[in-house]
Amino acid sequence: MTDAATTRTNLLGLTPAELEAFVVGLGEKPYRARQLLVWMYKRWVGDFEAMTDLGKGLRAKLAEVAEVRPPEIVSEHASGDGTRKWLLRAGRSDGREQAIEAVFIPEVGRGTLCISSQVGCALDCAFCSTGAQGFNRNLETAEIVGQVWLANQRLGSGPGGERAVTNVVLMGMGEPLANYKNVVPALQLLLDDRAFDLSRRRVTLSTSGLVPQIYRLAEDTNVALAVSLHAPNDALRNELVPINRRHPIAELLASCWHYLEAQNGRSVTFEYVMLDGVNDRPEHARELAGLLAGRDAKVNLIPFNPFPGNRFRRSAPAAIEAFRDYLNSRGVTATVRRTRGDDIDAACGQLAGRVHDRTIVRLGQKRFGVEVEA
């Protein structure tokens, strides 16, 4: 990062209203902001010189005080199945390079980008590679939406001019609701028709269950909600998802049903990582069905993706299918997530980036007196 880069305003972090205020602050007419938005979000152009309808004077002024700066690419990997993963620079900390990851998953008729919200994660879930790395810092709004901007720019438009990224999931590194103040403006930019213009059903926030923030989110936005449940009772969930000791299952589910009601949402998706012999038995399926039957809930079973140094094993395919079939037989819609990009370590829970842990003691190791930043 150069000195100039740190003093210029990164326009990627600004909402359309903030961008307009910025442009007016430069002594320009408000419609200039609308022109800028078209360049930035309809054409994925970030170089002011290329924005030909802005006028020479304004282009020069912008180049001095502003920039459109997505995260810098450290490396790019392409999987045999079309999945792409970017390792992106997230600054330095104590002299060490920090990096996050974003993953693009192409499917017929849609392209899903999985983005990160923090450099690492403090919540320390037992089966998660990001958690094992520890926590360094929150990403800025510009860094969060910058991942989507960069992917659209890198991947280019389809033959009919359609955008590469049609869906965004906050399922990369980090706990999005622990970075509430930067994540909510990012969600607003993703939905805003003057910016990324994604429909609310195509933006999904996944959380391990920060209950107070789920209630706040119901007031502030209306994206789709996914919740990492992973266990059907508190004893087991306390072990797998340590934040459960602060916000147990009953409270978590109450916040989910509130979210649906407040948002007029269709359903909450519950993610459930399939760990051999740990949470994948018939009695777990029965208990889970007991929690969710009759509710607007879907279950997404995620075959565990192993990473070095972890003690868990992936459930056998037959166990996963039996689990799914049982839930479906109880009227709880359950699907199995297809593993994509595992040859480049881009599958769920395999995103490690490069994190230099700056927390003193992590949550799973008893940091419950400390509030997660909201």
Question: Which of residues 79, 98, 130, 350 is near ligand SF4 by CB under 6 A?
Answer: 130
Q: Which does 302 bind (CB under 5 to 8 A by kind): ligand SF4, ligand SAH, none?
A: ligand SAH
| Rg for the chain, CA atoms, rounded | 21
Q: How far is the CB of 42 from ligand SF4 (least distance, A)?
A: 32
Neighbours of 78 (CB within 10 A): 14
DSSP letters along 221-237, please?
---EEEEE---SSHHHH
Site string for ligand SF4, 206-245 (x = CB under 6 A): --x-------------------x-----------------
CA distance 367 to 365: 6
Of the listed 121, 125, 128, 348, which one is catalytic? 348
Of the listed 20, 67, 101, 175, which one is catalytic? 101
Compute the residue count for the chain. Answer: 374
CA 92 to chain CA centroid, Å, is 22
Q: Which helix (H) or strand (E) holds 190?
A: helix 180-191
Q: Is residue 348 among the annotated active site residues?
A: yes
Choose one: 94-102, 123-131, 216-224, 302-310; the region binding ligand SF4 (CB under 6 A): 123-131
Which is nearer to ligand SAH, 19 or 372 (by Cβ)? 372
326 neighbors 333 (Cβ within 8 angstroms): no
Task: Give me 183's structure tokens.
Answer: 């994540």
Q: Could you say whether residue 131 binds ligand SF4 (CB under 6 A)?
A: yes
63 neighbors 48 (Cβ within 8 angstroms): yes
97 neighbors 149 (Cβ within 8 angstroms): no
Q: Which does 46 bind (CB under 5 to 8 A by kind): ligand SF4, ligand SAH, none?
A: none
130 neighbors 208 (Cβ within 8 angstroms): no
Three-state SS annotation for 29-50:
CCHHHHHHHHHHHHCCCCCHHH
CA distance 287 to 100: 36
Q: Which of residues 135-194 bind ligand SF4 (CB under 6 A)?
A: 174-175
CA 164 to chain CA centroid, Å, is 17
Q: Which does 274 bind (CB under 5 to 8 A by kind): ligand SF4, ligand SAH, none?
A: none
Which is nearer to ligand SF4, 128 or 142 (by Cβ)? 128
**Where does this chain bind ligand SAH (CB under 6 A)?**
125, 127-129, 171, 175, 206-208, 228, 271, 273, 302, 304-305, 348-349
Residue of this chain nearest to ligand SF4 (CB atom): 131
Which is nearer to ligand SF4, 125 or 144 (by Cβ)? 125
Q: Which does 271 bind (CB under 5 to 8 A by kind): ligand SAH, ligand SF4, none?
A: ligand SAH
Which is nearer to ligand SAH, 14 or 144 (by Cβ)? 144
How far is CA 224 from each of CA 228, 248, 264, 287, rounded to the nearest angstrom?
A: 13, 22, 11, 25
Q: Could you say whether residue 125 binds ligand SF4 (CB under 6 A)?
A: yes
Task: Give me 132's structure tokens.
Answer: 């094992």
Residue of this chain nearest to ligand SAH (CB atom): 349
Choose one: 10-18, 122-130, 308-316, 366-374; the region binding ligand SF4 (CB under 6 A): 122-130
Q: Could you say whether residue 252 binds ligand SF4 (CB under 6 A)?
A: no
Phi/psi for 185 (5° steps) reads: -60, -30
Q: Is residue 121 among the annotated active site residues?
A: no
Neighbours of 346 (CB within 10 A): 27
Catalytic residues: 101, 348
- List residues near ligand SF4 by CB under 6 A: 121, 123-125, 128, 130-131, 174-175, 208, 228
